[in-house]
Chains A and B, each alone.
Chain A
Amino acid sequence: MFFQLFWTYLKIGTFTLGGGYAMLPLIQREVVDRKGWIDEEEFLNMIALAQAAPGLIAVNSAIFIGWRIGGWKGVCGAVLGAVLPSFLIILAIAMVFQEWKELPAVEAAFKGIRPAVVALIAAPLFKMAKAAKINWLTALIPVAVALLIWLGHVNPVWVILATVFCTLVAVDIAERRRK
């Protein structure tokens, strides 16, 4: 089981660009449709939990599926398979990047790439805001969060903790009133 899970995740991890979300449909095809290791409903529950829990979604899903299918050995196999390709590729790049960066051609290319990266971080917000069903009132939350971190230099950790705390207090008050 260790090797099967390791191999499955290694394959998916090596050939998926675009991080955790992009991996999910491929994982589904492999472990639900082809191998039948878990059923579709459990897979969808797994995605909900892997997204709700902190950490990287690809790693979270590997842990869940590894555990359900093969216990500790399954977890080790799936996590190693999910992490190893990107670890090795970045390690190889890190080893040469310091020298390559000094080359005039690479430097010029990165001058063009840097503003593109900022756009690639910002532009998906449009789609994500739509998916989150944002309205004028709830839009105040991301605006306040962005300003606090950007101009106030507040650590994002505090913002996340404050979100959780305020929501729990608000839900608690609403629940008590309902009863």
Chain B
Amino acid sequence: MIYLQLFLSFFKIGLFGFGGGLAILSLIQMEVERYGWMSQQEFVDIVAVSQVTPGPIGINCATYVGYTTAGFWGSVLATSAIILPSLIIMLSICKAYFWLNKKFHDNPYFTQTLRMLRFTVLGLIASAALLLIKPTNFIDSVSWIIFALVAFFTVLPEVAKPLVNKTTPPFREGLGVGFSFLSHPILLIVLAGIAGYFIYR
């Protein structure tokens, strides 16, 4: 029974997972919450692990949930289930590629649907973040300071771009590289972990 639930859940996530890893998070969250496969905390922890290890977040979550709920074969099953819709859909697209190639670029049904899905995906990602703002993840005011700092450094290269472009060449390159280094998710997670260790130990 658990195998069937795992398969159906991750098949559904693969089938409706538009817009890349972050957009898939809210789908995964709904499924693991419905069956009580992971606590909110565990879910955040595994997203953190996904950010610092190679590979797509969807695969990482499928493997982890599969293993913790049903052991090794559970992880094989969940990972296969999230790939299966891609296989069916992408292979159909490949077979129809030469037909699609001529038409899909100027088909308004296709292009407009993609455009609108991009806006929906923004909402999906926002909801994934909002659903995680809970007392279990934000235990005190320090949590909010960490949240604000990480958000600040993540958007810094984008926000500071117009300012950086005004400076003269040696500074321009230096600041650009420096800011994008500081915005690296792995660095930020490691720093947050070190901060957590010293503050909460």
Contact = CB atoms under 8 A, between A and B. Distances in A.
B75 A141 contact: no
Interface string A147-165: 0111000011101110110
Nearest to A86: B55
Contact of A55 (B44, B85, B118, B142): B85
Interface string A39-66: 0000001000111111111111001100
Given A45-B101, A54-B16, A55-B17, A142 B126 contact: yes
A166 B117 CA distance: 11
B120 interface: yes
B21 to A, nearest CB: 4
Contact of A149 (B45, B108, B131, B199): B131
B133 interface: yes
A122 B126 contact: yes
Contact of A90 (B53, B148, B150, B201): B53
Interface residues of A, number: 95
A98 B18 CA distance: 31
Interface residues of B, number: 106
A19 B201 contact: no
B158 A127 contact: yes
A138 B121 CA distance: 12
A115 B54 contact: no
Interface string A57-89: 111100110011000000100010001011101
By secondary structure, the B interface counts as: helix
A94 B63 contact: yes
Contact of A144 (B47, B123, B151, B192): B123
Contacts of A160: 16, 18, 117, 120, 124
B58 to A, nearest CB: 5
A101 B116 CA distance: 41
Given A108-B200, A171-B112, A146 B75 contact: no
A156 B16 contact: yes
A123 B153 CA distance: 9
B120 A163 contact: yes
By secondary structure, the A interface counts as: helix
Contacts of B139: 111
A1 interface: no
Interface in B81-131: 82-83, 85-87, 89-91, 93-94, 97, 100-101, 104, 108-110, 112-131
B144 interface: yes
A117 B21 CA distance: 14
Interface of B: 12, 14-22, 24-27, 30, 41, 44-45, 47-60, 63-64, 67-68, 72, 75, 79, 82-83, 85-87, 89-91, 93-94, 97, 100-101, 104, 108-110, 112-133, 137-139, 142-144, 146-148, 150-151, 154-155, 158-159, 185-186, 188-189, 192-197, 199-201
**Which 10 residue pairs across A and B have the least CB separation, nearest first?**
A112-B196, A86-B55, A145-B123, A55-B86, A116-B192, A142-B123, A123-B154, A149-B127, A142-B122, A119-B150
